[in-house]
Amino acid sequence: MKLLALDTAANFCSVAVLDVETASVLSESSQDIGKGHAERLMAAIEQVLSDAMLSITDIGKIAVSIGPGSFTGVRVGVSTARGFALALGCEAVGISTLQALAYDAQKSFPGRQVLSIIDARRDELYAQFFGKDGSAASDPMVTSLQALLPRLEDIAGEYVLSGSGAALINEKLCQPLDIATTAATASIEAFARLGAVLVGEAPRPLYLRGLDVKPQQGFVLKRKAEE
């Protein structure tokens, strides 16, 4: 079976094709585009499929990043995955960015516990703890630097940091922790390999907090007064 993996939750537009039977990545592409995933994703999928000498009808499963990350990017990836799954009659699964970051960290630091940590801006962090076997040791959360630091001071050296919030954490710790990556998302290979073993419901965005935008009150029409 061939699996198509997508990640548009952060600044990268990433696509890969994994041969599940041989556990080999047949083709992959990761472009740091910042924004504009909706305009670039389909072309990236076409190129990766072409490089793997496959067509979209050869795909038997789809894995996609569900965030947390960019609201628009997450929506683009999830809607694309669900659309392809419906058209192809195949399974689509969602993998959180935090879980994929932990996967990459444990490749570099085998047998270590991981704190996946993403800078969510506005003095907030997306975070999740993972055990030595890669299993979740906490729920994904929105938290702050001040809330995390006391816990990390007590477990110095036990955890590896993975994600764009790692440097923020280490700046405040008396004993800095090992860092696997400071990227805002994981490798596309991580999403592909996690997706190959995951069975679950259709992917849904993992936002963790509300939208960063507010309604433009100046354009709200007042209700006409009753005569």
Question: Do residues 44 and 33 touch, judged by C-beta distance below 8 A?
Answer: no
pLDDT digits (tens, 9 = 90+) for 168-193: 999 998 889 999 999 999 999 999 99
The whole-number average pLDDT for the span 20-39 is 96
Query: Per DSSP, what are the bridge partners of residue 10?
Result: none
DSSP letters along 124-183, please?
Answer: EEEEEEE-TTS-BSS--EEE-HHHHHHHHHHTTTTEEEESTTHHHHHHH-SSPPEEEE--
In this prediction, residue 104 carries a pLDDT of: 98
- The answer, yes or no, to whether the previous bond of 140 is cis (omega within 30 of 0) is no
Whole-prediction pTM value? 0.90
The whole-number average pLDDT for the span 201-215 is 75
Burial annotation 150-168 (CB, 10 A radius, 16+ → b, else e) = eebeeeeeebbbbbbbbeb
- Say if residue 122 is exposed, middle or buried (CB neighbours under 10 Å; 0-12, 13-18, 19+): exposed
Where do the structural domains in the chain lie, given as residue ranges?
2-96+187-197, 98-181
Question: Do residues 120 and 9 touch, judged by C-beta distance below 8 A?
Answer: no
Q: Does the pLDDT at position 223 exceed 90?
A: no
Q: Does the pLDDT at position 94 exceed 90?
A: yes
- The whole-angstrom separation of Cα 128 and Cα 96 is 10
Joined together, the tokens standing for residue 129 give 């703890």
Q: 3, 87, 17, 18: which is closest to 46 by C-alpha?
A: 17
DSSP element (H, E) containing 193 = helix 188-197
CATH superfamily, domain at 98-181: ATPase, nucleotide binding domain (3.30.420.40)
Q: What class is the 2-96+187-197 domain?
A: alpha beta
Q: Give the percent of the chain with pLDDT over 70.
A: 92
Joined together, the tokens standing for residue 221 give 């029409």
Question: Rounded to the nearest 5 degrees, what angle is found at the Cα of 219, between the Cα atoms of 218 and 220?
Answer: 95
